[in-house]
Structure 1
């Protein structure tokens, strides 16, 4: 059974729970508790990842299959008692198996949290965000329970005791910056359908000459989306440009021919004028309206009557938002004083920026009213 099928089955039981017997209910609760124990514990996992416990365990496992607490402590340089307490938790969630006092074996799940694993970087990123969320009650108590509206004066600055924006602060933390880059790569590349799978690229994305700029990916990280676009649509003519801040662009090691990397701060005038398309993926939800309008304003000034803007974001329904999306909205509020938006909120934001929303494109399997959308906007007439 796939994870999606499991989720559907659980939701089906939850919606029709009246027909479940007491025995079945007890079994279901036990199974859910067991599943929860496997998925929880990110803070302890973060400790184990930071201490490279998973890496060392894989390297020192004996031929007979086990390793000792003493050897693990020696190789990591950590206190043996701390190692023992962490391994106790790792065993409880089945990431290791305890075979005797101070003796452990790896399990099939142990290897997924080695340092090079995207899941390990996900834990690092997630736990760093949890530090901000945990400060929300104190922040709102001090600020009169007003919705934050400035990316430079909100919960993040309160929790980190800094005046820097979240991205600026992360740029000073190489470990967190790396984790963020990895997670952004996953979020952009792991989707079943990319935007160019349901957007009419052939009819809409075309330029007269290879020297013309076809698309500018603003805040595009290390170029994930443009690389996939180039792979999927190799016959496209025109220049493809990925723009991001210096620390991100400098981390790019290689790009396919036809894709150019450019250092750019989207709060400054857009240097590429008259491109056919400008593209913002997962950008605007990082900014409250105050700063989002500045970003859109700089795009607008670079556009011509032949240009259009594509915004690739999660779009909330007007009612009955899912728990996942509501949780993501809180993450945006905590880290960036920002928000996830409904289509009407995007329409209003674009209108204020001098742009007009002409269509919200969506994948064929899009959820009703919720999920990722590709918003197409042009200069307001």
Structure 2
């Protein structure tokens, strides 16, 4: 068998033999798909991506990855920054938009804007009506929303160099898995001394954009307390002491999770407490007044002892294992044996068949923070094999396409 690859391979469809079967599978799935059926939609996305990749040649895929996708990111981010998408929505979500008119309103060179929009259209995100005339798609309409558009400013415009130059960082570390939160690919790419990429975004005035980006990321996802994921009325409320802390939302940011919990379960037993660093707590103003707001650093001693549940949402994936163990140790110290639960709402990557959003999150954590999205085995190792006195009692998931699971833990 030859150990070399003939160049002609790069100009042939990647897997022509798979195309008929994939089309058949897609047709079958489409016949069963109804709006709101997320599991079938997920399967269709996976099949559609496989179909496209089977049809494209390796040369075409290379051009997409190295030319088309970076160019699309440049065009979309520029549009967010200059207010293009908001202007187009303001002028009419179903209107025909002329490049010359848009450029005049934005103070842009019309030739520049025309080139950007032509590529956005060629990539499928605008509808071309005539030369230099376009209509919005649902995607480009959505870019007018800050919770969607700000993702481009933050992750591409703000810290996008880190994944692109990740290989340079790996050269310096002799190709080792990154686990040092104080020396990450971000630090190398931006020659920065700030603690991490999140602090960097704040330092360059993108703190609000980062918060909105995270809000957009969570859109369309079930909250941790939804009955399809974690049935709190069966698992949390029974046995809860009526006047004691029910849920302590550790590092809960502006309180989106705990406030939604309050709205969905207004008659819950016990007290709800939101914790985060003092500057964050000061900004947590739009939550139910019955929720106690408490400044707290998760690396310090947990002041609330014996709560029914300590909740962490997307906290541990920001940190390598050594920092996570310190965070978890502080929580374990405060837990009451046989009563307290630790509820971690995070990605759990399956052993096989990982969902693309989960692996994408892992790449983001690795290239920005030297952290990770963890597999089920890694969660067991982190929580049960670190001498913290904790055990995982159950992984709660809403289904096949669920990125985040509730990892329920108790004292061993």
Relative to the length of structure 2, the TM-score reads 0.75
CA distance 1:171–1:350, shift in 2 (3 Å): same
- What is aligned with 1:228? 260
- CA shift for structure 1 position 78: 3.2
- The answer on whether the counterparts of 2:163 and 2:367 sit within 8 Å (CA) in structure 1 is yes
Shift in alpha-carbon separation, 1:131–1:27, aligned structure 2, 3 A: closer
Match of 1:185 in 2: 215
Root-mean-square deviation (CA, aligned residues, Å) is 3.6
Moved more, 117-126 or 279-288: 117-126
**TM-superposed deviation, 1:65:** 4.5
Partner of 2:133: 104
SS of residue in 2 equivalent to 1:174: coil
Match of 1:140 in 2: 170
Gaps of 5+ in 1: 18-24
Residue 219 (structure 1) aligned with residue 254 (structure 2): no
Tell me, yes or no, if structure 1 residue 308 matches structure 2 residue 337: no
Q: Does 1:201 align with 2:232?
A: yes
CA change 1:94–1:242 in 2 (3 A) is same
Partner Cα separation in structure 1 for residue 204 and residue 269 of structure 2: 38
Give deviations 1:306-352, integer Å, cap 9, x for gaps: 32211111112234544443332121111110112122322222231
Aligned to 2:205: 174
Residues 29 and 167 (structure 1 numbering): CA distance in 2 closer, same or farther, change over 3 Å? closer
Gaps of 5+ in 2: 1-29
Rounded Cα–Cα distance in structure 2 between residues aligned with 1:312 and 1:301 = 20
- Deviation sequence 1:150-182 (CA, Å, 0-9, x none): 21211121122212222322222333x223322
* Residue 43 of structure 2: aligned partner: 8
Aligned CA distance change for structure 1 residues 253 and 78 (closer, same or farther; 3 Å): farther
Partner residue in 1 for 2:151 = 122
Q: 1:270–1:163: structure 2 CA closer, same or farther, 3 Å change rule?
A: farther
The match for 1:87 among 117, 141, 148 is 117
Q: In structure 1, what is the Cα distance between the partners aligned to 2:73 and 2:389?
A: 42
Q: How many residues align?
A: 363
Residues 317 and 343 in structure 1, CA contact (< 8 A), matched pair in contact too? yes
TM-score scaled by length of structure 1: 0.81
3-state SS of paired residue (1:248): helix
Deviation at 1:122, TM superposition (A): 2.8
Shift of the 171–193 alpha-carbon distance from structure 1 to 2, 3 Å rule, reads closer
Q: Where does residue 291 of structure 1 map in the other structure?
A: 323
Distance in 2 of aligned mates of 1:295 and 1:371: 22
